[in-house]
Amino acid sequence: MSSFPVSGELAVRAAEVLARLGADAPSSPDGPVVSRSPITGEVIGRLEASTAREVDDAISSAARTFTDWRLVPAPQRGAVVARLGQLLTEHKDDLAYLVTVEAGKVTSEALGEVQEMIDICQFAVGLSRQLYGKTMASERPGHRLSETWHPLGVVGVISAFNFPVAVWSWNTAIALVAGDTVVWKPSEITPLTALACDALLRRAAADVGAPAGIHHLIQGPREVGERLVDDPRVALLSATGSVRMGREIGPRVAARFGRSLLELGGNNGAVVTEHADLDLAVRGIVFSAAGTAGQRCTSLRRLIVHSSVADELVDRIGKAYEQLPIGSPLDETTLVGPLVHRAAFTAFEDALAKAKADGGEIVTGGGTRFADQLDDAYYVEPALVRMPAQTSVVHEETFAPILYVLTYDDFDDAIALHNEVPQGLSSAIFTTNQREAERFLSADGSDCGIANVNLGTSGAEIGGAFGGEKETGGGRESGSDAWKTYMRRSTNTVNYSTELPLAQGVNFL
């Protein structure tokens, strides 16, 4: 039986951690922004929501600061991010603790999320000396044609609870070296981690002499984020969340001709062919489907298995599921922690009920744990469900550990099943057949923004651009050339001749 912290222990330790990180502990006993730990369900902090005036002041300050920050040489801007990376390294354990307490991640995953922040800081510092443009061949003699990249403006960041610090760092580290300023509205479920990150960045800015106005934190419910969405001074709105949220945000930002970077739902699938290494597949599948209690946007939801190996694979996954340690994420032996709140638990139960109504068979899991010990914390057994077809419930993303299993006989059918859902974030194939692997990565293979071979759908590295297609929103964050989203391009033509030829051979005078 898992051991849980005694009442009040989480709140006391969270306050101590915040103090070490230089953040003020929440001191509003009736504040509407509530940090409730999914570990025990108890409230560990309350904050006041940012007022309309405070949001306007934050955007105004960010806009004013931008006019000077954009002129600071990019390598000097990178110094802030370098210092942030150092502070994150020094305080890795403390920040990971807050991630565990507020998001419910097991210790190793929380530490991994902070490491991801450190990694993106290192990437961004290197990027600060590599914001390259191009020189193109001009068709006119005595002319030079090139492009340059310039800072964009104020970047609004709306982040979700499941990666409460990493996604902020992806956006903020890149935006700062690009010459932008940032206004961050975190999930109202994880306000304490946001206080910690803001304190560390403010300290980093002070240590290197950068203006405090390069970053602002606003907290509160949906209405607070809507002010970022609708303010014309916010040049780029980066939002991570549900497809429903994206449907509302996208048109509103577009209506004011702003830019949006949307990271939305991911109903991720993996194909397992008859040529797969099943030992490897089981390990990759179990982590992708059950890790973080199925609450990653890249969590594996659909398993599309060749009929010749389906029974064996399902049996092996089922046995692995039954051995997963479920309990308090503060216990280092735990691999599956809690769902974030009651609504997530209700969605889990509703999805399983729909799956059974559609003819699905629950192979293992689907039960609850510790309900007799905890009143408002929700621990579930990851569910493995065999489905006769890809029904409507399989087309929906349920943010919980449910893995639907479908079978196929023809590889074309496997690709079609995989691509049939409206989301397009992450995907995987397990095979030792090169033709199958290459087909999956080709233009008529996976239609997702991320496609993996012989590893699961979750656990992306920061060096590649992260994001997906279709209802996932099309945004790209983190590595590769995702930095271009945070800058504006200028095409430049210089005439160093004494003539004035026009393009395309046009004669005017």
In this structure, the answer to whether residues 258 and 381 fall within a common structural domain is no
For residue 317, the Cα-to-chain-centroid distance in whole angstroms is: 26
In this structure, the answer to whether residues 28 and 166 fall within a common structural domain is yes
In this structure, the answer to whether residues 121 and 90 fall within a common structural domain is yes
Q: What stretch of H or E contains 135? A: strand 135-136
User: Can you tell me the distance from the alpha carbon of 327 to that of 333, in angstroms, rounded to the nearest whole number?
Assistant: 9
**1 has pLDDT over 60:** no
Q: What percent of the chain has pLDDT over 90?
A: 96
Distances from the Cα of 259 to the Cαs of 65, 233, 464, in angstroms? 20, 11, 21
Write down the pLDDT at residue 301. Answer: 98
| 263: its two tokens | 């990271």
The total number of structural domains in the chain stands at: 2
The answer to whether residue 88 sits within a structural domain is yes
CA atoms within 13 A on the CB side of 34: 10
**Is there a contact between 5 and 12 (Cβ–Cβ < 8 Å)?**
no
Write down the pLDDT at residue 25. Answer: 81
The answer to whether residue 394 sits within a structural domain is yes
| 291: its two tokens | 């890790």
Distances from the Cα of 132 to the Cαs of 13, 124, 173, 392, in angstroms? 45, 14, 17, 46
The answer to whether residue 468 sits within a structural domain is no
In this structure, the answer to whether residues 91 and 192 fall within a common structural domain is yes
Lowest mean pLDDT among 25-29, 173-177, 331-335, 358-362: 25-29
Write down the pLDDT at residue 303. Answer: 98
**Is there a contact between 274 and 382 (Cβ–Cβ < 8 Å)?**
no
The answer to whether residue 505 sits within a structural domain is no
Confidence tier at 26 by pLDDT (50, 70, 90) = confident
Q: What percent of the chain has pLDDT over 70?
A: 100
Residue with tokens 């509407």: 32
Average pLDDT of the segment spanning 15-42:
93
- What domain range is 60 assigned to? 9-264+473-489
pLDDT, averaged across the chain: 97
In this structure, the answer to whether residues 125 and 234 fall within a common structural domain is yes
User: Can you tell me the distance from the alpha carbon of 272 to that of 87, in angstroms, rounded to the nearest whole number?
Assistant: 42
In this structure, the answer to whether residues 189 and 283 fall within a common structural domain is no
In this structure, the answer to whether residues 335 and 252 fall within a common structural domain is no
**Is there a contact between 56 and 183 (Cβ–Cβ < 8 Å)?**
no
By three-state DSSP, how is residue 429 classified? strand
User: Can you tell me the distance from the alpha carbon of 147 to that of 131, in angstroms, rounded to the nearest whole number?
Assistant: 11
**Is there a contact between 351 and 393 (Cβ–Cβ < 8 Å)?**
yes
In this structure, the answer to whether residues 289 and 231 fall within a common structural domain is no
pLDDT in tens, 61-112: 999 999 999 999 999 999 999 999 999 999 999 999 999 999 999 999 999 9
The answer to whether residue 312 sits within a structural domain is yes
Q: Identify the bridge partners of residue 386 per DSSP, sorted by sequence position.
A: 361, 405
In this structure, the answer to whether residues 70 and 119 fall within a common structural domain is yes
Write down the pLDDT at residue 2. Answer: 75
The answer to whether residue 145 sits within a structural domain is yes
Pairing of strands 181-185, 154-158: parallel
Our separate counts of H helices and E strands in the chain read 15, 23
First to last CA, the chain: 88
For residue 490, give the DSSP letter: E
What is the CA angle 165-170-173, rounded to 5? Answer: 105
**143 has pLDDT over 70:** yes
In this structure, the answer to whether residues 201 and 318 fall within a common structural domain is no
CATH code where residue 283 lies? 3.40.309.10
Residue type, 470: K
pLDDT in tens, 372-418: 999 999 999 999 999 999 999 999 999 999 999 999 999 999 999 99
CA atoms within 13 A on the CB side of 312: 12
pLDDT in tens, 290-325: 999 999 999 999 999 999 999 999 999 999 999 999
In this structure, the answer to whether residues 210 and 225 fall within a common structural domain is yes
In this structure, the answer to whether residues 39 and 130 fall within a common structural domain is yes
**Is there a contact between 337 and 293 (Cβ–Cβ < 8 Å)?**
yes
Distances from the Cα of 270 to the Cαs of 306, 402, 442, 453, in angstroms? 11, 14, 15, 9
pLDDT in tens, 204-261: 999 999 999 999 999 999 999 999 999 999 999 999 999 999 999 999 999 999 999 9
> Which of the residues 102, 109, 116, 263 is marked catalytic?
263
> Which of the residues 297, 436, 448, 471 is marked catalytic?
297
The verdict on whether 297 is a catalytic residue reads yes
For residue 253, the Cα-to-chain-centroid distance in whole angstroms is: 20
The verdict on whether 448 is a catalytic residue reads no
Q: Identify the bridge partners of residue 423 per DSSP, sorted by sequence position.
A: 470
